Structures are given as C-alpha cells and as structure tokens.
Structure 1
Amino acid sequence: MTTVSIRNLWKEYDGQVVLENISLDVAPHSFVSLVGPSGCGKSTFLRMLLSQETPTRGEILIDGEPLAAEPQPDRGVVFQRYSVYPHLTAVENVALGLELERSPWLGRLFGARRRAVLDEAREALASVGLDAARDKYPAQLSGGMQQRLAIAQALVKKPRILLLDEPFGALDPGIRADIHDLMLGIWWDTRMTVFMVSHDLREAFYLGTRVIAFDRVRQRPEERECYGATITFDLPLDPAAPIKERIRQSEGAALLQDEVAAA
C-alpha cells in the first residue's frame, strides 16, 4: 500500500498562479475525491501526480521518495474520454500497454511472451466484467463497457496509485451506479490509493474515504493572477457508514458550497 505526501505545492503558468500552498498527507488505501468549481486546478493537480506536469514549487512524495519526473507504471489513469484504440479489440487494447513496456523497440511480442500478455489482459478484462466482450472492437461496446475497458487498461499494469479525471461524467445514471460499485470493489480488492476528480458531490461522497475541495479564497480581479486555488475543506469519511448518511453529508456540503459562493 502507498502513502502520498504533498508539501507546499504551487503551480503557475506564465505568471498566473493556478494552485497555491497545497499540503496534505494521504494514508495508504485512501479513496480521495477532489471537488471544486471548474478551473480551480483539480485536473492540474492530478496531472502533477501523474508527472505530466511539474510543480513550480514544492514536492510530491510517494512512500517518502520524490515523485519520478516521468509517468511510471506505478500510477494508472482513467480519463472522462475513453482512451481506447478503435482498430484494436478489447483484449488487444489492454495488452498494448504491456507489449510496449516489454518490447519498447518493436511494440509487439511474439510466441509464448505474447500469449502470456494476452492472458494478463484477459484477467484484467474479467476483473471489470468484460471477459465475454474481449474480442469485440470499441465501436461494438456501449459507453459503460468502453469505460470498463479504459479501467482495465489502467489496471493491467497493477499500479499502486489510480488517478481518475471525471471518468464517469458522460455515463447514464444507471450505468454510472454500476460503474461506481465496480470501482469500489476494485479499490477494495487491489488496496490501491485512488485520487478522483469529480463535479458530482454525491459521487464524491459515495466513493470517497476523504473529500477535498479546491477553490480560490481571493476573488478580486487584482488578486487572481497572484493567488491560486488552495484546499478550502478536507473532510474524512467513514467508508463503513451507511450510504444514506454519506449522501446526507454530501447534501450538507452542497448547501455550504452554495452559501460560500453567494457570500
């Protein structure tokens, strides 16, 4: 299991401060929901955890060690837009990451090595309920099935940290509920640490063991270039609490958010 520590993190673009003074410690096997208004830096924060972006100041530590400068297999990511290749079957999509890792020059394995990779890919597909669809192409899959495929792509390399950037926002409510339960099962079984960006407070409270809100506390025009978003509330949740209680908390948080916005 993996501990994540963020120390005095700042991010600027061309002199514009996006995030300021973010500090937190995340315990192993946490499910951290990141919420806040659009443009407050949630996805930027996620990209820094992935090493797609570099902090302007501060540091990110994984189990006490500085974060690698490039994306690594220890961190998987699932985006809102499905990161699947239309010309590959489901099992080929999942196997591709393993092939590229194990055969970086050719990007393709042969014989027993390829069979082993396909077996790993089928196992990942089975874990998200897609074993029967492994030979189908993405165009033959529903939106929910394509998102399951994207989750399998992230899981096949067995990451220690999973990053979710609004992965369920485009799904219908019924399918979304099914994917939520699937995600909770995967999180529990794999013991991963998960960070999820969401605009849906009910989703954030349903899935998370901790809800962290980012927002700007200085809103005057002359302050917006000099100051960025920071953590405005950090709420630990009991994953064993009944769902009705967690939804009640999310509704209270939504009312608080409305009051702050109106102030």
Structure 2
Amino acid sequence: MSLITIKKLWKKYDDNVVLEKINLNIEEGEFCTLVGPSGCGKSTFLKMLLGQEAPTSGTFLLDGKPFPDEPGIERGIVFQRYSVFPHLTVLGNVMMAMELKESKFFGKLFGTKRKEAKESAMKMLKSVGLGDAADKYPSELSGGMQQRLSIAQSLVNKPKILLLDEPFGALDPGIRADMHKLILDLWEKNNLTIVMVTHDLKESFYLGTRLLVFDKVRYEPQAPNMYGALITYDIPVGDTRESVLKEVEESIN
C-alpha cells in the first residue's frame, strides 16, 4: 500500500478551479519535487498534504485512511520564511516543538520529561550543524542557520513526511548548496518521505527521486478559472535526467 494515495482529486474555491483530476501514489521513502508555473496550485497541493486545506472531491488517503483534516506530528513542514520563535533560544525553539506535542495545554514539560526533551533537542541540533548555537537567539543566526533551525523543529518529533515549500529560495548559492547536502543526508538517515515545492528545475532534479510537473493544459480566455492544473509529467529521476531536462524546462517557461 502506498503511503499517500490520491485519485481524481479536485480543488476549487467557488468557481475557481485550482487543481483537477490529480491521480498520484507516493511510496514511503520517495523524495518528490514539484515544479510548475507560478499560481498553478503547487503550494495549495502542499497545504492539502499538511492538512491546512481539504480537497473539494476525490480520494485522498494517508496510509490507507482519510487524510487528517488538520496538521499533525506525522507531517513536518519547512517554509521559505523561517518559522521560528524570535523570543526563544535555538534550543528553546526545538524544545517548544516537543513540548507542544506532549503538553498542548501548558506547552511545558517538567522533571524527567523535560530533561529527555532537552537531550533529544540537542541531538537534533547537532545533526543539523547547530550544536554550538544552542544558546543563541534566531536574530543572531544567518539565513542558512535559521533554516537549519526550522528543519530541526520539523524533524525533532520524527514525522513520516517532510513538506518543503521553497525552503532554499531566499538563500545565497553557496549556502543553498550546503542545505542541499544537509537535506539529502537527513532524508537518508531519518527514513523520510519528502515532498518539496521549488521553482528551480535543476534543484528539483538534483534533490528528488521523482519529478512532478504541475501545469494547466486547458485554458478558456472567456473563463480563465474554469480549468485547473494537473500533473503533466511524472518522471523518475535517474538516467533520464539529462534527456528530459530541456523538454520539461520548455513546458513550464
């Protein structure tokens, strides 16, 4: 059974069709990259996987069961903008993710549980290269370090699925290359299934094991919102990389 099963999925906002006829199976351990023109529904699709949006119609399953209608710990997410708490230290940010999981009412752990959470948080910070920055505040970190912190927050509760919404788009090329290496390392070591939205086609081929291209193939000038985007390419990334790169690039530009 696939980890994620999607059949005949549609997403509409009133008369505005965003996505139509989406059929997709994602297996555990895949790294799926999503590309396509701006406004074609990639981020909306990611929000549905997170639980922030619900499909209008169609089959939408996680582990064979209906997708949860709200975000949960089995799915972590990292955005382009760093989703960190500025008033907390680096360690405090990661511990907060654990405390909210264990104690939703108080948002605080005590005694042995707090000690265990601190140890787990430090272990995660070391895995993303922030072990020496545990006592710093987000404002003292570079952009790349803040994004490492966001990743640590998302992974500390050991989700099955990691969702990435253009997480490296605002980073300088050198820092971006370091982040690529980090996310691939974490993907392999944590047995993650990753779904990532990006506008960088080369990045999508470099990181992903599977490339999904979203595009609107039907267009009615008199009713531009009548049709939605669908998956026009579903490409296993490997030896075909170079042969399809130009064709896909032309189709989304």
2:229 aligned with 1:229: yes
2:64 aligned with 1:58: no
Distance 1:184 1:149 in 2: 16
Structure 1 residue 61 displacement after superposition = 1.2
Letter in 2 for 1:180: H
Q: Which of 210, 226, 250 is equivalent to 1:255?
A: 250
Distance 2:216 2:20 in 1: 9
Structure 1 residue 34 displacement after superposition = 0.3
Distance 2:15 2:217 in 1: 18
Instruction: Please tell me whether the aligned partners of residues 206 and 247 of structure 1 are also in contact (alpha carbons under 8 angstroms).
Output: no
The residue that corresponds to 1:149 in the other structure is: 149
Structure 1 residue 155 displacement after superposition = 0.2
What is the number of equivalent residue pairs in this alignment? Answer: 253
Instruction: Please tell me whether the aligned partners of residues 42 and 214 of structure 1 are also in contact (alpha carbons under 8 angstroms).
Output: yes
Q: Which aligned pairs between 1:1-263 and structure 2 lie closer than 5 A? A: 3-238=3-238, 246=241, 249-258=244-253
Instruction: Please tell me whether the aligned partners of residues 34 and 213 of structure 1 are also in contact (alpha carbons under 8 angstroms).
Output: yes
Distance 2:193 2:224 in 1: 32
Instruction: Please tell me whether the aligned partners of residues 90 and 149 of structure 2 are also in contact (alpha carbons under 8 angstroms).
Output: yes
Distance 1:54 1:82 in 2: 25
Q: How big is each residue's C-alpha offset from its partner over 1:224-253, in whole Å with a ceiling of 9 and x where there is no partner?
A: 222101111111113xx6xxx846753443
Structure 1 residue 109 displacement after superposition = 1.4
Structure 1 residue 220 displacement after superposition = 2.5
Q: How big is each residue's C-alpha offset from its partner over 1:134-184, in whole Å with a ceiling of 9 and x where there is no partner?
A: 111001100000000000000001000010000000000000000001101
CA gap of 1:181–1:251, structure 2 versus 1, over 3 A, is farther
SS of 1:221 mapped into structure 2:
coil
Instruction: Please tell me whether the aligned partners of residues 214 and 231 of structure 2 are also in contact (alpha carbons under 8 angstroms).
Output: yes
Q: How big is each residue's C-alpha offset from its partner over 1:106-135, in whole Å with a ceiling of 9 and x where there is no partner?
A: 111122221111111111111111111111
Distance 1:248 1:175 in 2: 28
Structure 1 residue 36 displacement after superposition = 0.2
Letter in 2 for 1:51: G
Letter in 1 for 2:108: R
SS of 2:175 mapped into structure 1:
helix
Instruction: Please tell me whether the aligned partners of residues 210 and 236 of structure 1 are also in contact (alpha carbons under 8 angstroms).
Output: yes
SS of 1:211 mapped into structure 2:
strand
Structure 1 residues not aligned, in runs of 5+? 259-263
TM-score by length of 1: 0.92
Q: How big is each residue's C-alpha offset from its partner over 1:38-66, in whole Å with a ceiling of 9 and x where there is no partner?
A: 00000000000011001000122122111
Distance 2:29 2:201 in 1: 21
Single out whichever of 197-206 and 94-103 deviates more from structure 2.
Answer: 94-103
TM-score by length of 2: 0.95
SS of 2:96 mapped into structure 1:
helix
CA gap of 1:132–1:246, structure 2 versus 1, over 3 A, is farther
Letter in 2 for 1:49: L
Distance 1:200 1:248 in 2: 17
| Identical counterparts, % of pairs | 55
Single out whichever of 203-212 and 98-107 deviates more from structure 2.
Answer: 98-107
Instruction: Please tell me whether the aligned partners of residues 2 and 161 of structure 1 are also in contact (alpha carbons under 8 angstroms).
Output: no
Instruction: Please tell me whether the aligned partners of residues 73 and 101 of structure 2 are also in contact (alpha carbons under 8 angstroms).
Output: no
